[in-house]
Amino acid sequence: MEITSAKFVTSNSRADMCPKSDLPEYAFIGRSNVGKSSLINMLTNNSKLAMTSSTPGKTLLINHFMINNAWYLVDLPGYGYAQRGKKVMESIKNLIQHYVLERTQMTCLFALIDSRLEPQKIDLEFIGWLGENGIPFALVFTKADKQSTSKTQQNVNRFLDTMKEQWEELPPHFITSAEKKTGRKELLDYIDSINRSL
């Protein structure tokens, strides 16, 4: 799939205020500072589409982007950024839960994992929650360019092996680098294949 148009549509603080539409939605979520905005900009070939920042935790709303006039890319707030304060953390958690559980247009959730790190409890817990609620999702390992290919693969394998302790079947996974555009074609082809099956 080639992305020929990508435009920002709306930001919302509640899932029930999101666009009234039957178009499929592909949502991206991850821990703060996982490289979500950079990944979205890389996928859409638009360095200014999603706001990137040196300060983690900038996305506080549900952001909808219209892609090729055919589907929505949805940028969800990052989870687990403790410096936001308890009240903000709670409201973001509710925002994410309502969108993920109640948004029928959401076709697949891409859970972003920092490929440089050991398996993080917060990521495993979030993914476990997705599984318990039957949410269709795929894993996207980010920042693969920040270390050697073998180190990235080692960390990815470790994450998947940790999942195997609880999961009978693993979700699809992708290894990406926003810098080098690694994984771009695979991710977009995956979205395309789902769109064709709908």
Write down the pLDDT at residue 89: 80
Write down the pLDDT at residue 53: 55
Number of H helices, E strands in the chain: 5, 7
CA distance 174 to 165: 20
- The per-residue pLDDT for range 145-191, each reduced to its tens digit, is 999 999 999 999 999 999 999 999 999 999 999 999 999 999 999 99
- Mean pLDDT value across residues 2-21: 94
CA distance 103 to 137: 14
- The per-residue pLDDT for range 39-93, each reduced to its tens digit, is 999 999 998 898 765 555 556 889 999 999 999 999 999 887 656 678 878 888 8
Give the neighbor-by-neighbor strand order of the sheet with 6-12. Answer: 6-12, 62-67, 71-75, 25-30, 106-114, 137-142, 173-175
Write down the pLDDT at residue 91: 85
Q: In this structure, what token pair is assigned to residue 198?
A: 């709908």
CA distance 172 to 193: 13
Write down the pLDDT at residue 42: 97
CA distance 74 to 14: 13
Name residue 79's beta-bridge partners. 31
Write down the pLDDT at residue 55: 52
Angle at 125 between CA 122 and CA 127, to 5 degrees: 110
- pTM of the entire structure? 0.94
DSSP labels for 123-141?
HHHHHHHHHHTT--EEEEE
CA distance 65 to 62: 10
- The per-residue pLDDT for range 98-150, each reduced to its tens digit, is 999 999 999 999 999 999 999 999 999 999 999 999 999 999 999 999 999 99
Write down the pLDDT at residue 7: 95
